[in-house]
Structure 1
């Protein structure tokens, strides 16, 4: 599991999960994006990455960096 891929997916998930489904087509677009990105797996992947890189503070920083969040 690659940290850069996780971070990019997290940014995408944060974006799409914050979107408003103002009509049915938009709701389908959001649901498709969330499914494609695998947003439901992010928390488990984060736990795995934290454990895998517990002795690598520079990598943990990339996982923790607030710039990785949409906002």
Structure 2
């Protein structure tokens, strides 16, 4: 290889390293965004589960209350 070809090869290798590192950083950024979305979804699921638990308990309480007060026509 001539000196010019070696310099061109080194320059291209440097470019590839920079491009590769840039792509890796973009990938890391996408991963962080995905993790934040998962955490937000889990937070919402916990909130929904608490609502379901509350409504289930309220439903059971009302059923017991109604069972105590059976109408005379039943």
TM-score by length of 2: 0.27
TM-score by length of 1: 0.28
